[in-house]
Amino acid sequence: MSIEESALAAIADVPGVQGALLVAVEDGLVIAEMVREGFDAAAAAALSASLWGRMRRAAVAGGQRPPRFLQLEAEHGAVLVVPVDEVVLAVAVTTERTHRGVLRLRLLDLGGKGAG
Amino acid sequence: MKRSIEPWVAGPLDRFVAESGARVVLLMTSAGQVVAQHGFTRALDVMSAAALGAGIMASTSELGQVIGGEHFGALVHQGTELGVYLSPLPMPDAQWIGLVVFGRDTSIGLVQLFFGQLVSALAGAAPVRETRPVLAENFEADLDASLRALFGD
Amino acid sequence: MADNVQTLTARLAADPTSLAFLPLGEHLRRVGQLDAALAVATSGLARYPHLADAHDLLGRIRSDQGDGDAAFDAWTTALRLQPDHAGAHKGLAYLAFRNEDLSRALRHLEMAAHLEPEDPSLAQAVERTRAQVAGRSTPTGGAPLEPPLDDTMPGTILVDLDGRRLAGSLHTPDGSEVSDGLAALLAGVSQEASRVARLLDLGSWECLSTEGPDAAMHLLPPTPDTLLLAVGEAGAPPGRLPLVARRAARHAQQWLERLG
């Protein structure tokens, strides 16, 4: 199992997660993925990178440094994003009321590894 | 500025432009005949871009044949400020080509995502009719009319 | 503070009659561990049922849990036991504010300000509430100029879907005003949030939160036409800011309804 695969497996293993992705920040393209059947990884990558970019700009406009964690909560699930480093995002998409706390910690752990 | 020769193309094209954040879009037949455009301001640029885009796709297709029959998909050129996405656009009765120019306010991921939706929308919107070119067979004769349709008088 | 928690817990374990449950319960409340805070407060109250501070602590915890009725009971009990308890007056002022009973809110705030004259935020709150009471009693019956957004955090702003600020303000730590620049970008953020949720089949978006090295942010739509952004301190418990933002959103809804 590659480093990317083992990193994504830790996220994809959380119950309720439909897809775990590594995404190029600038391009919104999938670098690596571990997704359930029928999950549109390309759409999730493009959209989450775009959302990340917008929220990042908002944070900077608010006089802050870029965020290290983002969570979009929706009616039927959530999207969670952390920057692994300056060019890669880790993304998790869940369509169930899964345990967000565990997912958040695993993603932040991945972010910490990238930053370090 | 947006114009299309085929009226049913306008709706899907509008949605694509709005969703993808594309700055310039050109839809053309594989022969380089323009079907619709968004963002060009000069007729000459449209015709040049269509000819070059169709030429690149044809060259790439030929290259695929030479190296063993590989069918290539889309091409992406990423510059510092602008990117270009050039992709086959399969229609029910023809092969079209899409050329999209995008800036740093969007991404190739979004362009690809919504281009896929554009392909589906156009295929669904295309009228069922007898096989014929989008423009009349005599391209030279219809060129002026096409330019008028795309840019007005 | 982790050391403090350990010290307080140890003190309480060694001497169950200790008043250490008060700072321990308050700390747990502040870090968002509301269930634990409630357990500490109720066990303390079992030993000290006539201690106003203990009822005040219970009121704050219940309020954070969104149980306004229980908070009201706790704070009125505190005042019955100790009529000059400033904390209980502040709590009841907050509940009255939330119920749009501005006159009652003003009475409690004035009492709290009288009891704690050294607290400038109370004086400001009295001034603001007086202005709102006056505004409401004008012949036109207009809504107050600003909704009672939570002023215990670094900042909260309410904006329309064109990115124009309706209320609140945000400042950087060095005091620079960043409200309008940030507001202008929020409309695009919410459109993107809506698109992401829709295209990934997640339904409509409910809220968006970020954590960063300088601050945490929580964005939500109090109404279909507005967005509320709450900015909290970096490192605060991640569950706390959403609670505060939702409370501010309720205030904003009421304010917008009155505004018509």
C80: amino acid identity, one letter: R
C102: amino acid identity, one letter: L
B29: amino acid identity, one letter: T
> Using an 8 Å Cβ cutoff, are B34 and B43 in contact?
no
Chain B residues whose CB is inside 8 A of the A46 CB are: 107, 109-110, 112-113
Instruction: Pick the most confident of B108-112, C7-11, C152-156.
Output: B108-112
Cβ separation B107–A42 shorter than 8 A = no
Question: Residue B58 burial by CB count (10 A; 0-12/13-18/19+): exposed, middle or buried?
Answer: middle
Alpha-helical (H) ranges within C82-218 are 86-98, 102-115, 120-136, 179-199
Cβ separation A50–B112 shorter than 8 A = no
- What pLDDT, on the 0 to 100 scale, is given for residue C206? 94
pLDDT, greater one: A36 or C120: A36
Cα–Cα distances (Å) from B13 to B28, B51, B81, B115, C121, in that order, read 13, 20, 23, 9, 55
pLDDT digits (tens, 9 = 90+) for C53-86: 999 999 999 988 888 888 888 898 888 778 888 8
ipTM: 0.93
Sign for the CA dihedral angle at C138, C140, C145, C148 comes to: positive
Residue A115 has pLDDT above 60, yes or no: no
pLDDT confidence of C15, banded at 50, 70, 90? confident
The Cβ of residue B137 has, within 10 Å, a number of other Cβ atoms equal to 8
- What pLDDT, on the 0 to 100 scale, is given for residue C31? 82
Q: Which pairs with CB-CB distance under 8 Å and at least 24 residues apart come from C231-237?
A: C231/A62, C231/C153, C231/C154, C231/C155, C231/C156, C231/C170, C232/C153, C232/C154, C233/C153, C233/C154, C237/C31, C237/C32, C237/C33
Cβ separation A50–B109 shorter than 8 A = yes
- What pLDDT, on the 0 to 100 scale, is given for residue A114? 47
Q: What percent of chain C has pLDDT over 90?
A: 22
Rounded mean pLDDT, A77-84? 96
Rounded mean pLDDT, C116-135? 79
Rounded mean pLDDT, C165-170? 87
Between residues 27 and 66 of chain A, which touch chain B (CB distance below 8 Å)?
Answer: 27-29, 42-43, 45-47, 49-50, 53
Nearest CA in chain B to A43: B113
Cβ separation A49–B107 shorter than 8 A = yes
Nearest CA-CA partner of C74 in C86, C94, C47, C92: C92
**Dihedral angle, C-alpha B113, B114, B116, B119, nearest 10 °:** -170
Q: Tell me the nearest-neighbour CA distance from B57 into chain A, angstroms.
A: 22
Q: Is C10 helix (H, G, I), strand (E, B) or coil?
A: helix
Q: Flag whether the pTM goes above 0.80.
A: no
Is the CB of C169 inside 8 Å of chain A's CB atoms? no
- What pLDDT, on the 0 to 100 scale, is given for residue B142? 58
Cβ separation C215–A55 shorter than 8 A = no
pLDDT in tens, chain B (153 residues): 566 677 889 999 999 999 999 999 999 998 888 999 998 887 778 888 999 999 999 998 888 888 887 788 899 999 989 999 999 999 988 899 999 999 988 999 999 999 999 999 999 988 876 555 554 455 555 556 666 666 655
Residue A57 has pLDDT above 70, yes or no: yes
Q: Cα separation of C151 and C132, whole Å?
A: 16
Q: Cα separation of C111 and C118, whole Å?
A: 13
Is the CB of B113 inside 8 Å of chain A's CB atoms? yes
pLDDT confidence of C154, banded at 50, 70, 90? low
Kindly state the greatest CA–CA separation across chain B.
47
pLDDT confidence of C149, banded at 50, 70, 90? low
- Please state which of the ranges B148-152, C33-37, C256-260 shows the lowest mean pLDDT: B148-152
- What pLDDT, on the 0 to 100 scale, is given for residue A5? 78
Residue C122 has pLDDT above 90, yes or no: no
- What pLDDT, on the 0 to 100 scale, is given for residue B131? 52
- Please state which of the ranges B113-127, B129-143, C108-122, C206-220 shows the lowest mean pLDDT: B129-143
- What pLDDT, on the 0 to 100 scale, is given for residue C140? 37
Cβ separation B110–A47 shorter than 8 A = yes
pLDDT digits (tens, 9 = 90+) for C37-57: 899 999 888 888 888 899 999
Residue C91 has pLDDT above 60, yes or no: yes
Chain A residues whose CB is inside 8 A of the B110 CB are: 28, 46-47, 50
